[in-house]
Amino acid sequence: MAHQSAWVRFTCSTDGGARVATFRKSGAQWQLAAVSDQPDAPGGPVAAGSLDVAGPFGIAPEYRGCPGCGNDSFVRCGGCGGLGCWRSAKAYFSCGACGNEGEVSGSIESIGALDTG
């Protein structure tokens, strides 16, 4: 049976808090559906993700934005490879996990999940 949910480490680009994002499978696409409200302690249960989940990736209609800052979308950092929130109206992203900054381009092909189900 194919997995229908994936949980992924997610960092708020504004407050730097590590959270957990829930992705749900919709057709062929993995869609970001929710992000946990409270940041977790550094090194806590969201410290890494090693289960490969292949895309494509998008945003679920019910997604209401990052609970830390309200950003409406997400990107994968070109520096650390982690996922972080991003305001899609801006061309640039600043990673809350590693501080890397740069122009947003391309698409996400795969992510490292903490768990799937």
Res 75: pLDDT: 95
SS3 21: strand
Distance of CA 44 to the CA centre of its chain: 17
Res 115: pLDDT: 82
> In this model, does residue 105 exceed pLDDT 70?
yes
**% of the chain with per-residue pLDDT over 90:** 75
Each residue's pLDDT tens digit, 14-47: 999 999 999 999 999 999 999 998 776 454 444 4
Burial of 24 (C-beta count, 10 Å sphere; 0-12/13-18/19+):
middle
**% of the chain with per-residue pLDDT over 70:** 89
Each residue's pLDDT tens digit, 50-61: 788 998 999 999
pTM of the model: 0.87
Measured CA to CA, the distance from residue 114 to residue 8 in angstroms comes to 5
Residue 96 is given by DSSP the state: T
